Structure 1
Amino acid sequence: MSTLRARLKEGGVVAPGAHDALTAVLARRAGFNTIYVSGFAFEATQLAAPDMGMATMTELAAHVSHIDSAAGVEVICDVDTGFGGPNSLHRTVRELERSGAAAIQIEDQAEPKRCPFVGGRQVVDRDTAVARIRIAAESRQSDMLIIARTDADEISTDEVVERCRLFAAAGADLVLPMVRNLDGRPITDRTPSERMRICEDLVERIGHPVVTLDPPAGHTAQDLFDIGVSLVIMPLASLEAATTAVVEYFDSLRDTGSSEAHTTAYPPRLAANLDMMNALGLAEYLERDEAMPRR
């Protein structure tokens, strides 16, 4: 049994976003055993591109491999619609397994897929959506988990629930009901309490382990676990934190011509010197170096 599967059985799991190997190491340093690699964050940090499906499967697999090798955490990876038809999806599953992914997330959007922030999402028909999940589940050769996401919130709550149930029957270990626009009303128009009630209702109606995104304002991951959620992913908060710090630094450098003002206002939590190198395992590297005879 995989560690992630076992921990999900024991209780809820939090997976913060980690867009590269360094971020994953820092997440592990903070005590997180599981991280989430979002398609948005991957394309933004590795290609400087918007979330428009620009990356290739092999680029993503290599990226996950670097994170898995460096950080030793369980990686949940967003593979969008699977990078093509049935045979491409089969290969995607196998390549992500080889890369060390503990779980992959597959969605039911039609091509070209659209980030919910952009609008214009469309989903494939039920049979095609279910076939994607069945192919993914049958293609795996390990205990890697399959997370099935539906964007059918653009249709109705009932469609979201029905698709999640069908995905579960097709082999999905967990389901992610995307709820950006539920029954014609944006989720952002709902109060935090309403959003929690919507989530609880979905968990009860779906009857299968559910994944959700960041908790509503004033609530925590534990609050979501208390209403039956199994996995809470926080895909973009760490990316926002990182880019905010970099934007502030560059603005300060432009205005003052020096790094001093910024570093005085925001003393480094982990200086880019021996402190950072030690956090990245310098002692182990030096030990291997010293084991080699010198002449």
Structure 2
Amino acid sequence: MTSHIQTLRALLRDENGVLLPGAADALTARIVEDLGFKAVYLTGAGLTNTHLGLPDLGFMDLSQVAEHVLAIRGVVELPLIVDIDTGFGNAINVAHAVRTLEQAGASAVQLEDQHAPKRCGHFEGKELISAEEMVGKVRAAADARRQDMVIIARTDAIAVEGFEAAIDRAGRYIAAGADMTFVEAPETLDDLRAVPERLAAPQMLNMVLGGKTPIVDAAAAGAMGFGLVLYANAALQAAIQGMQTTLRALKTNGVLDESTVTSFAARQRLVGQAAFDAMEVRYAAGVPTHV
């Protein structure tokens, strides 16, 4: 088994309340790792927002997601959980996606039970596939993996069929082979507490600032029994605010100074410039080599 998958499985086995920041690109993933978080999440919504400038309505295809997985895996060692929305099609497509993304460096994939094109979990108007169809997708994902990648099954049933139906669906997905489930958008603290109590697998909790679920801190979520506490787009929303603030100041004042932004040196440190400078020296023509 690949080491980052082993690390993720150990986290899910041994810890609760693990904060899981979302990253829409490799630079954000490097920041997540640099700050000492234990895992990173490639957010489908954030990837669509940043890469295409479009809303989270299922516009990214498998090749685009795989390209970003490769980029992130190339620069971070952290476990990487990848949002694959509805799996790019039917159960056969899900199996292909799992093998592709596992090879690209994903530690886990998160698959959901919405109709394609999906909608953000905190949007209105969601539609679900049948529980039977989703069970087939989960089974296909579990059967397709070669390196024991973690399979996370998400259900959006609360908004469509109610809380009890969501718990029932999540239980069926666990029986089909999901290692973890993600019951999206519980709307009360009582429902939050009930999710890990009633489901016999690790659980993910999605904290959406401005969304439908009550916000709880990582310690409280861990005490409830949630394994991972996801902030899928907090970094993106903060980056948007920072860009707007900086560019608004530039437009107003006609000039900026370094005190208003991350320094040039800090940016080069984050992208590993020093290592490439050292390589340039080491491999320069005329430099002696040592065996």
Verify same fold: TM over 0.5.
Answer: yes
**Shift in Å, 1:279:** 2.8
Q: Please state if 1:290 is matched with 2:281.
A: yes
Aligned residues of 1:133 and 1:171 also touching (Cα < 8 A): yes
Aligned residues of 2:109 and 2:150 also touching (Cα < 8 A): yes
In the alignment, which of 15, 23, 31 is matched to residue 18 of structure 1?
A: 23
Partner of 2:127, secondary structure, is: coil
1:51-103 CA-partner distances (Å, limit 9, x unpaired): 11111101001101101111222111100010012221111001110111111
Q: Please state if 1:169 is matched with 2:175.
A: yes
**Shift in Å, 1:217:** 6.3
Partner of 1:176, secondary structure, is: strand
In the alignment, which of 2, 13, 24 is matched to residue 9 of structure 1?
A: 13
Partner of 1:70, secondary structure, is: coil
Alignment of 1:1-295 (within 5 A): 2-12=6-16, 13-153=18-158, 154-179=160-185, 187=187, 195-214=188-207, 219-260=216-257, 264=259, 267-268=260-261, 270-271=262-263, 273-295=264-286
> So what's the TM-score if we normalise by structure 2?
0.90
1:177-209 CA-partner distances (Å, limit 9, x unpaired): 0125xxxxxx3xxxxxxx332211121122321
Aligned residues of 2:189 and 2:214 also touching (Cα < 8 A): no
Aligned residues of 2:128 and 2:156 also touching (Cα < 8 A): yes
Q: Give the partner amino acid of 1:205.
A: R
Q: Give the partner amino acid of 1:237.
A: A
Partner of 1:172, secondary structure, is: coil
Q: Give the partner amino acid of 2:82.
A: C
**Shift in Å, 1:146:** 0.5
Gap regions ≥5 residues in structure 2: 287-291
Q: Give the partner amino acid of 2:219.
A: Q
1:34-59 CA-partner distances (Å, limit 9, x unpaired): 11111110001111111111111010
> So what's the TM-score if we normalise by structure 1?
0.89
Partner of 1:192: none
Aligned residues of 2:112 and 2:156 also touching (Cα < 8 A): yes
Following the alignment from structure 1 to structure 2, what is the Cα–Cα distance between the partners of residues 44 and 77? 16
Aligned residues of 2:41 and 2:82 also touching (Cα < 8 A): yes
Following the alignment from structure 1 to structure 2, what is the Cα–Cα distance between the partners of residues 137 and 34? 21
Partner of 2:74, secondary structure, is: helix
Distance 1:30-1:236 versus aligned 2 partners, 3 A rule: same
Report which stretch shifted further, 278-287 or 248-257: 278-287
Report which stretch shifted further, 131-140 or 277-286: 277-286
Partner of 1:116, secondary structure, is: coil
Partner of 1:245, secondary structure, is: helix
Following the alignment from structure 2 to structure 1, what is the Cα–Cα distance between the partners of residues 69 and 110? 13
Aligned residues of 2:85 and 2:111 also touching (Cα < 8 A): yes
**Shift in Å, 1:117:** 3.8
Aligned residues of 1:24 and 1:71 also touching (Cα < 8 A): yes
Partner of 2:225, secondary structure, is: coil
Aligned residues of 1:214 and 1:221 also touching (Cα < 8 A): no
Quote the sequence identity (%). Answer: 31
Instruction: State the 4+ residue runs in structure 1 displaced beyond 4 angstroms.
Output: 215-218
1:222-263 CA-partner distances (Å, limit 9, x unpaired): 111111111111101111000000011111112221224xx5
**Shift in Å, 1:218:** 6.8
Report which stretch shifted further, 113-122 or 125-134: 113-122
Following the alignment from structure 1 to structure 2, what is the Cα–Cα distance between the partners of residues 6 and 130? 25
Following the alignment from structure 2 to structure 1, what is the Cα–Cα distance between the partners of residues 36 and 92? 38
Partner of 1:247, secondary structure, is: helix
Report which stretch shifted further, 93-102 or 199-208: 199-208
Over aligned residues, Cα RMSD in angstroms? Answer: 1.7
Following the alignment from structure 1 to structure 2, what is the Cα–Cα distance between the partners of residues 217 and 204? 18
